[in-house]
Copies of this chain bind each other. A is one copy, B any other.
Amino acid sequence: MECHDYKLTRTMERENLNLNPLQRAGLLTPEAREALFEFGDGYSVCDYCAGRLDEVNKPGIEMFLEDLAKFIDADYVRTTHGAREGKYTVINKICEPGDTIVVDGNAHYTSYLAAERAGVNVIKVPNSGDSRAEITMDAYRETLENAIDEVGEIKLALLTHVDGDYGNLTDAKGFGKLCKKLGVISLLNSAYGMGRLPIKANEWDIDFVVGSGHKSMSASGPIGVLGIKEEFAEDMLARSKTHTNKEVELLGCTSRGAPIVTLMASFPAVVERVNRWDEELALTRKFVDNLTEIEGITQIGVTPTEHDLVRFDTPILNEIAKKHPRKGFYLYEELKNKHIVGIKRGQTEWFKCSTYGMTESQRDYIANAFKEIVEKYKD
């Protein structure tokens, strides 16, 4: 049979400054590139497996999971196929079909899909409804208390640590304490957090936390992290009745190759960069300041931002589009000429972006590029 051409190159996205928030913190480290070479082949991590992925010693998956648990202050850690798969695993195991869970209103779509697949209902905590789109712990408390009054038992509450629309950072510690007080199991979705900023699951009284290797931990996709508090480990990591060495909820094993070795290889660099989160945030804030100096560009979400993912309203760029012969495409094309990619073709009314991991001069270059484009076309 004849195969199509699958266009398996990605030169432009790799070689230019990529503002797509999905892509910034998943860039491989040099160490991960080497690991990819070593372990690219199919079942590569399983040469020395005695039956449990989490106990493989060559490569040192067991030691890695110990380090990872320490890093996020959780009692147990397993890898999953991604944050969404981690959320599904928790919801599916903790809840029965027909149960109700509470989820913040800025949650990623996969939180809803995980709930839907597990057959549970969702009550939303509203965000502030203004341009800050903030999830406050007061709102969470009110919704959760009302939900308990109304439904009876709420088995699980989910909080998005950093949402993917505004990059708002929520109060994970306040959430953990609130859930503990109300006797509700807590799940923190830190897909945009873990690997960028510090996670202290036990200190924050969080029962389950998920992270994303491909989104925020410089690993090849797909891979996630699931942190588990001691009291839930027996249930969540229960062994099979027929195959007593295997963990049922993980179907025995999860990551068999490239994703886990790249996660492991990048891990020391990730630990180190999380220590420098304050510097990263300062650079992002300076970038936001530079960009919002342009009249007609404002930051949406909580200000000053507390994360590198930032959303901008850009009426000035949209005004230009209305008059430009290339319509909305001018912006994509002008940026591409300046070696900047990652903002969708045709989009000018608003955009979200991240400059995570870029140097200060790269960020300045990008902000100046926008200034030059606006300068070139306005009136």
- Which residues between 256 and 287 of chain A lie within 8 Å of chain B, taking CB atoms? 256-259, 261-262, 264-265, 267-268, 271
A113 is an interface residue with CB less than 8 A from chain B: yes
- Which residues between 170 and 229 of chain A lie within 8 Å of chain B, taking CB atoms? 213-215, 218-222
B26 A32 Cβ-Cβ under 8 A: no
B268 A41 Cβ-Cβ under 8 A: no
Pick from B10, B28, B113, B215: contact of A47, CB under 8 Å: B10
- Given that A81-B222, A246-B113 are contacting pairs, would A41 and B14 also be in contact in the complex, using a CB cutoff of 8 Å? yes
Please name all residues of chain B whose beta carbon is closer than 8 Å to the beta carbon of A126 when the two chains form the complex: none
A88 is an interface residue with CB less than 8 A from chain B: yes
> Can you list, as one digit per residue, whether each of A242-261 has a CB less than 8 Å from chain B (1) or not (0)?
11001011011111111101
Q: Give A71's nearest chain B residue, CB to CB.
A: B1
B9 A110 Cβ-Cβ under 8 A: no
A116 B259 Cβ-Cβ under 8 A: no
Question: In the complex, A242→B58 CA distance in Å?
Answer: 44
Q: How many copies does the complex hold?
A: 2
Question: In the complex, A373→B218 CA distance in Å?
Answer: 46
A330 is an interface residue with CB less than 8 A from chain B: no
- Residue with the greatest number of chain B CB neighbours at <10 A, chosen from A36, A81, A110, A219: A81
A70 is an interface residue with CB less than 8 A from chain B: yes
B22 A8 Cβ-Cβ under 8 A: no
- Which residues between 1 and 43 of chain A lie within 8 Å of chain B, taking CB atoms? 1, 3-11, 13-14, 20, 22-23, 25-28, 31-36, 38-43
Pick from B6, B114, B116, B122: contact of A64, CB under 8 Å: B6
Nearest CB in chain B: distance from A160 CB, A: 15
Question: In the complex, A66→B4 CA distance in Å?
Answer: 9
B10 A256 Cβ-Cβ under 8 A: no
Nearest CB in chain B: distance from A350 CB, A: 17
Question: In the complex, A20→B49 CA distance in Å?
Answer: 12
Please name all residues of chain B whose beta carbon is closer than 8 Å to the beta carbon of A128 when the two chains form the complex: none
Given contacts A1-B71, A13-B44, A25-B42, list 11 more A-B pairs with CB under 8 A: A4-B67, A6-B63, A6-B267, A8-B265, A11-B38, A22-B46, A40-B262, A45-B221, A109-B242, A109-B243, A117-B251
A-B complex: 4 closest residue pairs judged by Cβ atoms: A26-B42, A221-B256, A221-B257, A4-B63
